[in-house]
Structure 1
């Protein structure tokens, strides 16, 4: 019992009890957002990315960590403890899954021949040929993988002096985004295009001093088109797996896939190493070069056969919507 300002006694039921911050609408909205976060995380964590729509959302999984952290802060401020628990568990699971890409592998220094690889999507042949040639010279690139290589871009690259720097070439130019090529400081022996792929994906043996390296210039079909993910999945399946004879093998190009996508993880899990993730740069975006849509990492350099990634970075090239990927590899004898 207590008294009111006039001295009258009133019951506890007449008192205004403390209420949680926010109301029922806030709780309902927070719960919906929590469920959405759980669904977003499940696409990658539970391998539910099976069509072009779920693939598109799953490709942005690294952003779910940030979204989850914001949602966790809101739940804490509103004191919705069940939401706090669920969101905290989801954020922890996503962090365990995503954060290692930003942490370099701990490996001892190794002897071996260095191989500097650059991979670049030229955006329908519109990229600045002078800038490409200049970056190849400045960074002493040994092998260049170019996607969306058109005949016109080949002519501009020759005029820019690229083939004087990298005289050996296996080029399959084509209209729009169909062409792909390999240009090298070392002699090349073409191994043939990958079968059953829409876009050109040539392979060549790079004659390094001491050991040959097999390199495939990758350009998997876009998984968001009207054909859905079927063609894209077929392109990934057509790529060579790690050599059973321990041949040094490098796949460099535009996979149109982030490390969050189930098919990409399964492919790498066959025995490849992603150079960006191994060097702690796995969250550096490669497409688009601007800020919309949210930038993601879809260009990769994968290695197998006793090749160790040592340095990795990306750079912008005018005229393209992709960033170029530069990797220094150590090819063990």
Structure 2
């Protein structure tokens, strides 16, 4: 019968068959991937990378449904509709935040602003880093990859505004630092593991109305050979467990700030959020909050900027979020900061 069809119609049907063959391959890929990530999390490097771009893998799914129904491609319909229902939260999550948190507040606690910022260890544009901090107007800043040049500029240009500092500058990417308008006292965090990118810092800070503990960290990155990446995945999850253990041992409300090198679609993030911590972006962020990458190539491969959210602020009960935003970009770092207005309070 097909040979009796007009050539244009025959060509259209062949193209349609090829198109839906590709659609079916894509849908079957989604089925296998979603099952694998549910069962194994981020166990292997390739699965970690797939989970990193979760919403982008799912974006072609909604446009498939209606054409499949119109074309009566029932196999595609039978796969795409259940897949969309199951994966809709993963697809919608990055761009829309639906906070249902209810708060109570302490009448003695004035709001204060916290900023976490990976400034890039090779960043020598001290003027831009200082400008980004001043524009964001934080009361407390947790810095990762703090080098001696930026540390000197902080003391020289921001010393009066942030008289309390706990700085550990290093050349390369292992420097860390905290500056504050409020008095702070360094603690010994004693987080296990020797693969942190810079030693985690912990301080007690006298914020308005209460004392909080701030933990500044930089988790191991998933960059390197496939074998190293797989090892780093497990180590990063152990680092998240160590953060949880530290948080649970504190007797004050805790703010955890830093570069997790993991997105909300990775198990490392869920270890933190399913513990005693709450992600301020889920509480009061607006939009996607993507913080990385600012550079337009990753290992020589061109990529669009700002694809994922790997820089995070978490709080325990006793501190709640009033608003959160992505900080101004200094034009040099491959990260953007996260800034949140916090206050003494509790989640109902």
How do 1:298-309 residues align onto structure 2 when only pairs under 5 Å count? Answer: 298-309=310-321
The reply to whether residue 163 of structure 1 matches residue 159 of structure 2 is: yes
Match of 1:277 in 2: 282
Going from structure 1 to structure 2, the CA distance change for 1:14 and 1:141 (only over 3 Å counts) comes to: closer
Note the residue ranges of structure 2 that are not aligned, 5 or more in a row.
Answer: 297-302
Normalised by the length of structure 2, the TM-score is 0.82
Match of 1:217 in 2: 216
Q: Say which structure is richer in helix.
A: 2
Note the residue ranges of structure 1 that are not aligned, 5 or more in a row.
Answer: 1-11
How do 1:238-277 residues align onto structure 2 when only pairs under 5 Å count? Answer: 238-241=242-245, 242-243=247-248, 247-277=252-282
Matched pairs, number: 321
How do 1:167-178 residues align onto structure 2 when only pairs under 5 Å count? Answer: 167-178=163-174
Alpha-carbon contact 2:209-2:344 (below 8 Å) kept: no
Distance 2:135 2:3 in 1: 79
CA apart distance, 1:174: 1.8
Match of 1:5 in 2: none
Distance 1:14 1:131 in 2: 69
Deviations for 1:145-184, whole angstroms, at most 9, x for unmatched residues?
111111122123334x122211111112222111111111
Aligned with residue 181 of structure 1, among 177, 201, 213 = 177
Going from structure 1 to structure 2, the CA distance change for 1:86 and 1:248 (only over 3 Å counts) comes to: same
Going from structure 1 to structure 2, the CA distance change for 1:23 and 1:138 (only over 3 Å counts) comes to: closer
CA apart distance, 1:109: 6.7
- What SS does structure 2 have at the residue aligned with 1:53? helix
CA apart distance, 1:23: 5.0
Going from structure 1 to structure 2, the CA distance change for 1:139 and 1:14 (only over 3 Å counts) comes to: closer
Going from structure 1 to structure 2, the CA distance change for 1:127 and 1:275 (only over 3 Å counts) comes to: farther
Distance 1:128 1:216 in 2: 26
Does 265-274 or 20-29 show the bigger shift? 20-29
Alpha-carbon contact 2:98-2:282 (below 8 Å) kept: yes
Deviations for 1:78-127, whole angstroms, at most 9, x for unmatched residues?
43122123122222222224535622424357343312011111111406
Match of 1:75 in 2: 68
Does 165-174 or 236-245 show the bigger shift? 236-245
Distance 2:166 2:278 in 1: 25
CA apart distance, 1:246: 5.9
How do 1:14-33 residues align onto structure 2 when only pairs under 5 Å count? Answer: 21=13, 22=15, 24-33=17-26
Match of 1:4 in 2: none
Going from structure 1 to structure 2, the CA distance change for 1:23 and 1:141 (only over 3 Å counts) comes to: closer
